Chain A
Amino acid sequence: MANYKTSDFRKGLKVQIDGEPYLMIEMNFVKPGKGNAMYKCKLRNLIRGTVLDRTYKGGDSLEAADVEEVAVQFLYRQVDMFMFMNSSTYDQYELTADQVDDAWKYLKEGMECSMVLFNDVPITLTPPNHVELKVEYCEPGAKGDTATNVTKPAKVETGAEFICPSFINIGDVIKIDTRTGDYVERVRQ
Chain B
Amino acid sequence: MSDADDRRAVAERTFPPTASRRALELRANLLRSLREFFHERGFLEVETPLLSAESVVDRYLDPLPVALDAGTRGDDLPDLMWLQTSPEAAMKRLLASGMEAIYQVTRSFRGGERGRLHNPEFTIVEWYRAGDDMRAGMRLLSDLCEALLGRGAARPVAYREAFRQHLGLDPFQSELVDLRLRVEELGGTSPTPGGADERDELLNTLLALGVEPHLGTPSPTLLIDYPASQAALAKVRGDTPPVAERFELYVDGVELANGYHELLDAEVLARRQTLANQQRAADGKPVLPACGRLLAAIRHGLPACTGVALGFDRVVMLAAGAAHISEVLAFPIDRA
Binding site for B on A (CB under 8 A): 7, 28-38, 52-60
User: Which residues of A lie under 8 Å from residue B189 when comparing CB positions?
Assistant: 54-57, 60
Kindly identify, within residues 29 to 73 of chain B, every residue whose CB is under 8 Å from any CB belonging to chain A.
58-61
Q: Are B209 and A55 in contact, CB atoms less than 8 angstroms apart?
A: yes
Which one of B111-119, B137-145, B235-243 is at the A interface? B111-119
Q: List 28 A-B contacts (CB under 8 A).
A: A7-B112, A28-B116, A29-B114, A29-B118, A31-B113, A31-B117, A31-B118, A32-B207, A32-B208, A33-B207, A33-B255, A33-B258, A34-B60, A34-B61, A34-B230, A34-B258, A35-B200, A35-B204, A35-B230, A36-B59, A37-B113, A38-B205, A38-B208, A38-B209, A53-B187, A54-B187, A54-B189, A55-B186
User: Which residues of A lie under 8 Å from residue B60 when comparing CB positions?
Assistant: 31, 34-37, 58
Q: Is B156 an interface residue (CB 8 A)?
A: no
User: Which residues of A lie under 8 Å from residue B126 when comparing CB positions?
Assistant: none
Q: A54-B189, A55-B205, A56-B189 are in contact. Are A29 and B113 (CB under 8 A)?
A: yes
User: Which residues of A lie under 8 Å from residue B61 when comparing CB positions?
Assistant: 34
The 3 closest A-B pairs by CB, nearest first: A29-B115, A35-B204, A32-B208
A44 to chain B, nearest CB (A): 15
Binding site for A on B (CB under 8 A): 58-61, 112-118, 186-189, 191, 200-201, 204-205, 207-209, 212, 226, 230, 232, 248, 255, 258, 283
User: Which residues of A lie under 8 Å from residue B200 when comparing CB positions?
Assistant: 35
Q: Are A33 and B113 in contact, CB atoms less than 8 angstroms apart?
A: no
Q: Are B207 and A59 in contact, CB atoms less than 8 angstroms apart?
A: no
User: Which residues of B lie under 8 Å from residue A54 when comparing CB positions?
Assistant: 187-189
CB-CB nearest in chain A for B60: A36
User: Which residues of A lie under 8 Å from residue B187 when comparing CB positions?
Assistant: 52-55
Q: Are B114 and A59 in contact, CB atoms less than 8 angstroms apart?
A: no
CB-CB nearest in chain B for A27: B115
The docked-state distance in angstroms from the alpha carbon of A53 to that of B185 is 11
Q: A59's contact among B230, B255, B258, B283, by CB below 8 Å, is which? A: B283
The docked-state distance in angstroms from the alpha carbon of A58 to that of B112 is 10
A171 to chain B, nearest CB (A): 50
CB-CB nearest in chain A for B231: A34
Q: Are B115 and A33 in contact, CB atoms less than 8 angstroms apart?
A: no
The docked-state distance in angstroms from the alpha carbon of A31 to that of B311 is 13
The docked-state distance in angstroms from the alpha carbon of A60 to that of B283 is 11
